[in-house]
């Protein structure tokens, strides 16, 4: 049985509770891979688990997302061998030098995609993929709205919107983040801190027509503006609630707004089969490997800096992805 340095939550609390301990990692069982970690993604779902909002028995090894190289293969696994590069998005205990990953959850990483880039793009990249390919299939000539365009998912949505031929209206907070969104190709960037009427500014940017789809991962602070920004029969895709949950909605308002639609999608429902996972990750990595989609340079922290990494994430002092590296 191998021993592995790991980021551990010994009790619920703030980032200061995190420790780095050596834990035992068993040999891979049937359907499992033993992977040496290159990098693990830092995500808000980890925060909710550490705080006890999403309860897990303590102590536990933190992390769900990562990438690395296969060191051993369990029984009943085919198509994956020792030395293969893989990434995953929902494997508990990922912040460990050695990780046991279900083979069904691991996807191949092409040589053209660095492992750290793969780790930085699984949850956020697959989220952006299902939003533009499934929740609302973006097509040439459409206009899309991307809130928090300087964030991890937002940066990808801006680029994918342009790649798929849409006009992109983006919002961000402050000159630096607005400049970043513009540099990624957004046609119009609105500093939400500098306008009193965000929906009015968005409608003005679309000559009063509104947007075909609003991608909103912010939630409470932007929901009303998103709803008011839709064109007739437009769609509001509320895929997150970074500013807090949206209050209950009177469905009659959707009629009054122009027979518009609201949906609350989530990633697990868009990875329902192995085939769907491979399609989404394969297309995502093809875009990255071919230079059509740029994943922002991640902010890296070592395992010993895990507390600082989560403090930065929770304090919204980062742009793009945060990674922990062993």
Please give the model's pTM, rounded to 2 decimal places: 0.93
The predicted structure's pLDDT at residue 162: 98
The predicted structure's pLDDT at residue 314: 87
Q: What is the mean pLDDT of the segment spanning 98-115?
A: 98
- Which band of pLDDT confidence, cut at 50, 70 and 90, is reported for residue 289? very high
- Which band of pLDDT confidence, cut at 50, 70 and 90, is reported for residue 317? confident
Where exactly does CATH 3.40.50.720 map onto the chain? 124-268
The share of the chain scoring above pLDDT 90, in percent, equals 92
Superfamily per CATH, domain 2-112+290-325: Medium-chain alcohol dehydrogenases, catalytic domain (3.90.180.10)
Where exactly does CATH 3.90.180.10 map onto the chain? 2-112+290-325
107's CB contacts (< 8 A; 6+ apart) are 86, 87, 88, 277, 278, 281, 282
Question: How far is the C-alpha of 160 from the C-alpha of 134, rounded, in Å?
Answer: 13
The tokens of 220 are what?
A: 């409470």
Q: Nearest Cα to 163, choosing from 290, 262, 77?
A: 290
Q: What are phi and psi of 302, to 5 degrees?
A: -80, 165
* Angle (CA) 237 241 244, round 5°: 140
C-alpha to C-alpha distances, 308 to 303, 311, 324, nearest whole angstrom = 10, 5, 11
The predicted structure's pLDDT at residue 119: 98
At 263 the three-state DSSP class reads strand
DSSP-derived letter for residue 96 is B
Tens of pLDDT, residues 59-92: 999 999 999 999 999 999 999 999 999 999 999 9
The tokens of 198 are what?
A: 């965000």
Top CATH class of 124-268 equals alpha beta
C-alpha to C-alpha distances, 129 to 124, 233, 236, nearest whole angstrom = 9, 22, 16
């Amino acid at each position: 049985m191998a021993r592995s340095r790991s980021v551990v939550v010994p009790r619920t609390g703030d980032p200061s509770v995190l420790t780095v301990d050596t834990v035992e990692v068993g040999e891979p069982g049937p359907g499992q891979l033993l992977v040496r970690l290159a990098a693990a993604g830092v995500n808000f779902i980890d925060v909710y688990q550490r705080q006890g909002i999403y309860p897990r028995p303590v102590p536990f090894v933190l992390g769900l997302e990562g990438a690395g190289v296969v060191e051993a293969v369990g029984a009943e696994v085919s198509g994956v061998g020792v030395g293969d590069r893989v990434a995953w998005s929902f494997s508990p205990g990922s912040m460990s030098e050695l990780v046991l990953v279900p083979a069904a959850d691991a996807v191949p990483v092409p040589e053209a995609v660095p492992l750290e880039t793969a780790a930085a793009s699984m949850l956020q990249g697959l989220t952006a993929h299902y939003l533009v390919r499934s929740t609302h299939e973006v097509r040439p000539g459409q206009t899309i709205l991307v809130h928090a365009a300087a964030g991890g998912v937002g940066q990808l949505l801006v680029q994918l919107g342009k790649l798929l031929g849409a006009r992109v209206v983006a919002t961000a907070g402050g000159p630096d983040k607005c400049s970043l969104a513009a540099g990624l190709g957004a046609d119009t960037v609105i500093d939400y801190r500098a306008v009193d009427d965000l929906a009015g500014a968005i409608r003005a940017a679309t000559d009063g027509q509104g947007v075909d789809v609003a991608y909103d991962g912010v939630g409470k602070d932007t929901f009303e503006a998103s709803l008011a920004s839709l064109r007739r029969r437009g769609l509001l895709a509320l895929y997150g609630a970074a500013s807090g949950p949206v209050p209950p909605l009177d469905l009659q308002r959707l009629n009054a707004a122009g027979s518009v639609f609201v949906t609350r999608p989530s990633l697990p429902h868009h990875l329902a089969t192995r085939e769907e996972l491979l399609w989404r990750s394969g297309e995502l990595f093809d875009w990255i490997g071919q230079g059509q989609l740029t994943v922002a340079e991640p902010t890296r922290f070592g395992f010993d800096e895990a507390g600082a990494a989560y403090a930065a994430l929770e304090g919204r002092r980062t742009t793009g992805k945060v990674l922990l590296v062993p």
